[in-house]
Every structure is written in structure tokens, then in C-alpha cells.
Amino acid sequence: MGDSAERILVDRSIEGDTSALSELLIRCDGRLRSRLGGQIGRRYRSAFSIDDVLQVTYTEAFLRIQSFRPTGDGAFLNWLARIAENTLKNAIRELDRQKRPPRGRQVGNLAGDDSYVAIIEMLAGSQSTPSRQIAREEGRQAIDEVLGMMPADYAMVIRRFYLEGCTASQIADDLGRSTGAVYMLKSRAWEQLAELLGDATRFFSYLS
């Protein structure tokens, strides 16, 4: 693809033309695969594939294209590659974390509204005791609203993992994907949830 043709597709994509972005991603796919080749270590190859990485990468591209600013030839491919590499790093970190899950960070053992409160506490990183009634009423509504704005796979992973207490293997079976791919989705979905919710501490009413 010529540089001028790519620039036109990039400009149209930033303006919100999803067909242009789809074409751009198709045209970049082979080059991106070449750049990612060999970056998945042997110990992780059974957990997820380049296709898993690219599926999340392309979802992120649709979510973030309006923030992309061209800086010269090859800028879009470099941008995609950074997303893919960060996606891969996050997935590896998540897989490694499952071997030693930190105490107090699991939501799945809570039920109903308490699981929503726990999500807000995790996002806020607070050690204080919030008024759970306020968090229930405001936090649940906000989380449900935000989940409706997220890509379907992202929202499903958040609901099934954090709100319903399902395991990664159960979610993988539902999606027809590998467990490693679920952890990859979970990492990106959590990041987007945090971005869309903003300052989660606004749902807390601290006790004096």
C-alpha cells in the first residue's frame, strides 16, 4: 500500500470511518504479524496465539483510533505494534499472576451488589471503609451503564469473571477461545472499565 493511500485511510479512520479502518487493519495485518513473530515465548504458546493478540489489538484500534496522531510514514503500523506488544505483556503478566493470586483482590467470592462494590474498591485502591449502600446504588448503575458501552467480549469477561465469579476456563469455553486469550481480554477490559468509570472514589461516602 502506497504511503499516500495509507494516509488517506488513516485520516478517514480518525474521522470515524469504520470501513476505512477495517481496510487499513487488513492491509497492515501481514506486516504486523511479521513484527510480532517470535515475541510469544515458548512457555506461553500453548496459552494464546498471535491471532489472540491481534483480535484484542484490533478491538483496541477501533476504541482508540480517534486519539491516534500521525507523525510520519509507518506511524500507524508502529502505533498498532505498540498496542499489540502491550497487550501481549499484559496477558503474560496476568497469566503469571494467576499462579500467585494476591489476597483480597478476588471479587468472585462475593455475591450480588457486593461484587459491584468490590470492583469500585479495586479501581479506587482505597483502604477506607465506604458506605456500601451508596456504592450499591450509584456504583452498580454506573458499572452497568459502562459495560453497555464496551465491546461485547470485554463486557462479558468483566461480568462473568468479576460479577458472577466464573473461572477463566469457564469463560474460555463460553467464548470458544483459550484460557490465555481470556486473561488477555480481561486485562484490556479492566483497563477500559477503569477509563470509562473515571474516578471510582466518587461512589464512596466515607464514614467519620
Q: Would you say the CATH fold of 113-203 matches that of 3-99?
A: no
Going by C-beta distance under 8 Å and a sequence separation of 6 or more, which residues neighbour residue 179? Answer: 47, 168, 169, 172
pTM comes to 0.68
What tens digit of pLDDT does each residue of 119-159 get?
777 776 654 444 555 555 677 788 888 899 999 999 999 99
147 vs 2: which has the higher pLDDT: 147
Domain map (residue ranges) of the chain = 3-99, 113-203
- With cell 465469579, the residue in question is 165
For residue 155, what are the contacts with CB-CB under 8 A and spacing of at least 6? 147, 148, 189
pLDDT tens digits along 28-62: 999 999 988 888 888 888 888 888 899 999 999 99
DSSP letters for 72-86: STTHHHHHHHHHHHH
pLDDT value at position 68? 93
Q: Give the class (CATH, top level) of 3-99.
A: mainly alpha
Residues 6+ apart with CB under 8 A from 91: 44, 47, 48, 52, 53, 180, 181, 183, 184, 187
- pLDDT on residue 111: 47
pLDDT average, residue stretch 159-181: 88
Per CATH, the number for 113-203 is: 1.10.10.10
Q: How far is CA 136 from the centre of its chain?
A: 24
What are the Cα distances from residue 28, in Å, to 34, 46, 61, 113, 170?
Answer: 10, 25, 12, 44, 33
